[in-house]
Amino acid sequence: MHTDAVTVIVEALRGVPRVLHWGARVDALGDEADYLRTLASAQRGADALRGSGPPAVLPEQSAGWVGTPGLEGHRDGQHFSTLFEAVDHTLSLSAESGARLTVVGRDSTAQLRLDTVLELTASGILRARATVTNESEAAPYTVDTVRVTLPVPVEADEILDFVGRHLRERTPQRHPFVVGTHNREGRRGRTGSDAATVLAAGSAGFDFGSGEVWAVHTAWSGNHVTFAERGLSNNSRVIGGGEVLLPGEVILAPGEHYDSPWVYAAYGRGLDEIAASFHRYLRSRASHPTSTRPVVLNTWEAVYFRHDLDELIELARVGAAVGVERFVLDDGWFTGRRDDTRGLGDWQIDTEVWPDGLGPLVSAVRSLGMQFGLWFEPEMLNADSTMAREHPDWILAPGDRLPISGRNQHVLNLTRPDAFASVLESMSAIIDEHSIDYIKWDHNRDLAEPGDQHTGRAAVHEQTVAVYALMDELKRRFPQVEIESCSSGGGRVDFEVLERTDRVWASDCIDPLERQLIQRWTGLLLPAELVGSHVGAPTAHTTRRTHSLAFRCATALFGHMGIEWDVRMASEEEREELAAWISLYKDVRHLVHTGTAVHADYPDAAYWAHGVVAPDQGEALFSFVAMETMVATQPGRIRLPGLDPDSTYRIEPVRLSEVALTRTADGPPSWWSTPTTVSGATLAAIGLQAPMLYPEQALVFRLVRVTAGTLT
């Protein structure tokens, strides 16, 4: 299977396919079929099992694999090991969607069927999943885990993945790809702020623009695993993922099946190529948002729970004046919700705070030319709520006791049809009454001891499926509604929830210094239009650091821009400056939300350079960012990747704020104040003189093509 840049070679004659090559495109393979078949065998050391070879997509011990198994399960303690034999395989090819290979295997002794799907999409993404079917006519089969694996070559000598917490999501960590298993399990019942998100294996020292890289992402919003494993047998190295199932969660009755999550994989030269493949895939989906991403004003850090009609209308008025296009009312509008200890689950408008309902605010917002959005946390309830008092058995719990609470709340068991219907109809009534345009869908606690009180069984898997079903039904009823995935900030960022949502809230931390890092690495998986990025207050509410408006705006510019700030408190000068940045965003969002993200491999971590280049390379937007002080006295030249080497570009500095560009008497670089044109080849090979910024500053500039063709 081929794309322009990637080739995948698969042995499909066994019950479980084996990937023999996944990496750079190789042409003229038709004449080498005999040689390619030999890749499926391996030399055997003195202590190796006979017949063992490269691991399959679902590795089996019956094939000589002694690493982490692909399928773990049993039938009342028996049939713990499988031997799937080939039944059928089909390959479909499409210029639009790519190639899809389905391999069917059957273990007649264990009475199981395995359907393994490998797709190489036109975007260059390889994705895989496995389906296990119980073909017994009488006995159930317990599935403990299904893991999908993909091989990487011995050149993959280093691992990069991510750790995190609330307010500090997606912090990179990297280390050698040593013998053993690097296992990143998420058992929070949601994707998690500490999720690996992307796990990349690559040649030592790989960076944004250099080195071979193979990367995987597990697309699941519940308990999951992403892992890398290196064994000594055959010097095997694999990366993969799957769902983490709690004991007894999936027991297949006769005829039932279990689908593993999709594992998405990308190959490229450098991390920017990995990101480009993920972004192309997401942008190719029919569900991907195509309308212009509107400027958002979210009320949370502006007013918190202090809801007052007149104040909110004034906030909306000021927001509209600076260019806001979507006004979102956050937590605090429903019955009894004066703080975070009560009210969750009671999705009716609080008549004490809103005696005339939300109608007056919605009308005022729409009269100002803005869309109206509303906050919900549909999967949760407070113990102090009518729902919990009337239906205590709707709480996810291990049985006869409640689990520990988180943020004063418990998890609503959406696997119960009556609980599901209650939330669905309550939300539908409000959305329908006010023609809501946008839902900020929050999820603020981990799922500890998540059981069904009636069955006593663990329920994370079924709860995750039910959440998807709730989103799907709301989208079916209200196709105009966009949904933001928020989960204590960036705790639910994965491809499966993005099949149903239109952006993610990357973090509850709006401190622009923290956001530079969070957005940099969220962008390895998601394009800018899917990442909410807001301008916060001068002093960040989460870190108490104070930053200039220029730095806050320059950071928010490279995402789906919005405001999380009580702009009523801003001075006239600040409002004018903010309005100018919002106007710039509206001017460049076509570029930011369709272009290719690029990063300079500058050796000093104190100074970052990143940008977005248009698909036709006709324009680009870049930012130099001083993350901290440098050891050197000046940054020197920084190379700008991604431009057309045969084109000449005019440099257009963005001068919307007063920025101290230099600490020397000589002033900023000449290109900042003197009209300058430079070729893409020069900018990539020699670079652009970077200004000497103070720490925690960002400088934004545009590049516009003025000539194209071969340069001399």
Provide the sign of the torsion angle of the four alpha carbons 47, 53, 55, 59, taken in this order.
negative
Q: Take residue 69 and report the two structure tokens written for it.
A: 């198994």
Identify the DSSP state of 412. B
SS (H, E, C) 236-285: CEEEEEEECCCCCCEEECCCCEEECCEEEEEEEECHHHHHHHHHHHHHHC
Classify residue 272 by burial, with Cβ atoms within 10 Å: 0-12, 13-18, 19+: buried
Which residues have CB under 8 Å from 212's CB, separation 6+?
A: 23, 24, 155, 156, 202, 203, 206, 267, 268, 269
**Which residue from 466, 578, 440, 388 is spatially nearest to 189, judged by alpha carbons?**
466
Side by side, the strands of the sheet bearing 676-679 are 596-599, 607-613, 619-626, 697-707, 648-653, 676-679
Q: Is 116 helix (H, G, I), strand (E, B) or coil?
A: strand
Helical residues (DSSP H) of 509-571, grouped into ranges: 512-522, 549-556
Q: How far apart are CA 452 and CA 432, in angstroms?
A: 31
Residues belonging to the chain: 712
CA–CA distances in Å: residue 430 to residues 310, 334, 417, 418, 435: 21, 11, 20, 19, 8
Amino acid making up residue 230: R
For residue 181, the cross-strand partners are: 229
Amino acid making up residue 634: Q
308 catalytically annotated: no
Q: Take residue 29 and report the two structure tokens written for it.
A: 């393979």
Classify residue 671 by burial, with Cβ atoms within 10 Å: 0-12, 13-18, 19+: middle
Q: Is 324 helix (H, G, I), strand (E, B) or coil?
A: coil
644 catalytically annotated: no
Task: Spot the catalytic one: 442, 494, 502, 511.
Answer: 442
Task: Spot the catalytic one: 330, 452, 502, 508.
Answer: 508
Q: Is 439 helix (H, G, I), strand (E, B) or coil?
A: strand
Amino acid making up residue 444: N
SS (H, E, C) 331-385: CCCECCCCCCCECCCCCCECCCCCCCCCHHHHHHHHHCCCEEEEEECCCEEECEC
Q: How far apart are CA 712 and CA 702, in angstroms?
A: 24
Q: How far apart are CA 620 and CA 624, in angstroms?
A: 13
Which residues have CB under 8 Å from 425's CB, separation 6+?
A: none
Identify the DSSP state of 608. E
SS3 content of the chain, % helix, strand, coil (to 5): 20, 30, 45
Q: How far apart are CA 448 and CA 395, in angstroms?
A: 12
Instruction: State the number of CA atoms in the 13 A half-sphere of 66 facing the CB.
Output: 13
Contact 216, 198 (CB under 8 A): yes
Q: Take residue 642 and report the two structure tokens written for it.
A: 């991604």
Which residues have CB under 8 Å from 616's CB, separation 6+?
A: none
**Which residue from 179, 180, 181, 177 is spatially nearest to 203, judged by alpha carbons?**
177
**Which residue from 549, 544, 565, 555 is spatially nearest to 513, judged by alpha carbons?**
555
Active site residues: 442, 508
